[in-house]
Amino acid sequence: HSSPSSFILTGIPGLEDAQFWIAFPFCTMYFMAVLGNITLLLVIRMDPNLHWPMFYFLSMLAAIDLMLTISIVPKFLSIFWFHSHEITFEGCVAQMFFIHSFSMAESGVLLTMALDRYLAICKPLHYSAILTGSTIAKLGLAAAVCDIVIIIPLTCMVTTLSYCGPRVIPHSYCECMSVVKLACGDIQPNSIYGITAATVIVGLDSILIAVSYVLILREVTGLSSREARLKSFGTCGTHIGVILLFYLPRLFSSYTQHWGQSIPVHPCVLAADLYLLVPPMLNRLIYGMRTRPIREQVLSLIWQK
């Protein structure tokens, strides 16, 4: 009754025969996410005109998305294409830590970006005075500390469990509850802590984001120009769509792991895979290429090449 030397990741249970072909869209999304995030980071770093709070937040989001995809997708592809199902216990715990840490950090950055848009639209005269360099650094530090305070106990609780049964994880990566369910003894503390942390963090961040966008939309409706209103509504609408695409599958995945025994496994695993991969790919298009200074800089670099 101790920690096993390794676990076996099945990939997508019930779709084993189709995993070879499923890997191709996964690989395409991975390539687009990595290329888009690296391009965005380089463009913002190279252009001094982009050294503003909004672009700093975009850089944070790009860095988090890049690390998140790198921590999971290579293992996806090795399972789907090369049948490399085994992962060491230490590697599993590390992957679990990184996935949950980066997911929480992305939630925090989305919240700060909503705050940035609120200040830019509703409080433009105070924007520069509020979002100073030190304030941005403090926001980033607060997100990191929050991650550490919440994720380290969750990870430690997993490592202290005894595992005496099968070591097969019915998932594409080391999802926390999928690992915990393999343990012997009482796993209720892990379950309660995990679902409470997910609900509180996602619930609080999503509520604050929703409030900020409601205030933004209320301000936008007062604009005299119809063109300006339509542009603002379009921008807010796409931002809200990406945010929902990040939060809803995450909550669905968390709750089905705890109470979704009657739901087939493969849609749950697919939802858990996609919420970690689709937002990092789309964020570059929504937050990056739809932002005119970034779009112009990227087109300028391509034209020079």
- pLDDT tens figures, 217-253: 888 777 667 776 776 676 677 677 777 777 777 777 7
Q: Is pLDDT of 254 > 80?
A: no
Q: Which residues lie below 8 Å from residue 125, measured CB to CB, with a gap of 6+?
A: none
Question: For 25-56, how does the pLDDT look when each residue is reduced to its tens digit (9 = 90+)?
Answer: 999 999 988 988 898 888 888 888 888 888 88
Confidence label for 1 from pLDDT (cuts 50, 70 and 90): very low
Q: Which residues pair with 9 in a beta bridge?
A: 169
Alpha helices in 170-304 (DSSP H): 176-180, 188-220, 226-259, 265-283, 292-304
- The CATH code for residues 6-304 is 1.20.1070.10
Q: Is 304 exposed, middle or buried (0-12, 13-18, 19+ CB in 10 A)?
A: exposed
Q: Is 287 exposed, middle or buried (0-12, 13-18, 19+ CB in 10 A)?
A: buried
Average pLDDT in the 85-99 region? 91
Residue 133: the pLDDT is: 82
Q: Which residues pair with 86 in a beta bridge?
A: 8
Buried b (16+ CB within 10 A) or exposed e, 108-145: bbbbbbbbbbbbebeeeeebeeebeeeebeebbeebee
pTM value? 0.87
* DSSP code at position 9: E
Alpha-carbon torsion angle 91, 92, 97, 102, nearest 10: 90
CB distance 102 to 64 below 8 Å: yes
For the chain, the domains span: 6-304
Closest CA to 108 of 239, 10, 229, 204: 204
Confidence label for 262 from pLDDT (cuts 50, 70 and 90): low
Question: For 94-143, how does the pLDDT look when each residue is reduced to its tens digit (9 = 90+)?
Answer: 999 998 888 888 888 888 888 888 888 888 888 888 888 888 888 888 88
Q: Where is average pLDDT lowest: 110-114, 197-201, 247-251, 267-271?
A: 247-251
Q: Which residue has the higher pLDDT, 265 or 22?
A: 22
How many other CB atoms are there within 10 angstroms of residue 105's CB atom?
23
Structure-block tokens of residue 48: 């001094």
Residue 108: the pLDDT is: 87
Residue 92: the pLDDT is: 92
Question: In whole angstroms, what separates CA 276 from the centre of its chain?
Answer: 5
Residue 95: the pLDDT is: 92
Around 303, how many Cα atoms within 13 Å sit in the side-chain half-sphere? 6
Closest CA to 55 of 68, 42, 65: 42
Structure-block tokens of residue 76: 């996806």
Q: Phi then psi for 186, rounded to 5 degrees?
A: -85, 115
Residue with tokens 């999928």: 178
Q: Where is average pLDDT lowest: 65-74, 92-101, 199-208?
A: 199-208
Q: Which residue has the higher pLDDT, 305 or 144?
A: 144
Q: How much of the chain, in percent, has pLDDT values that exceed 70?
A: 90
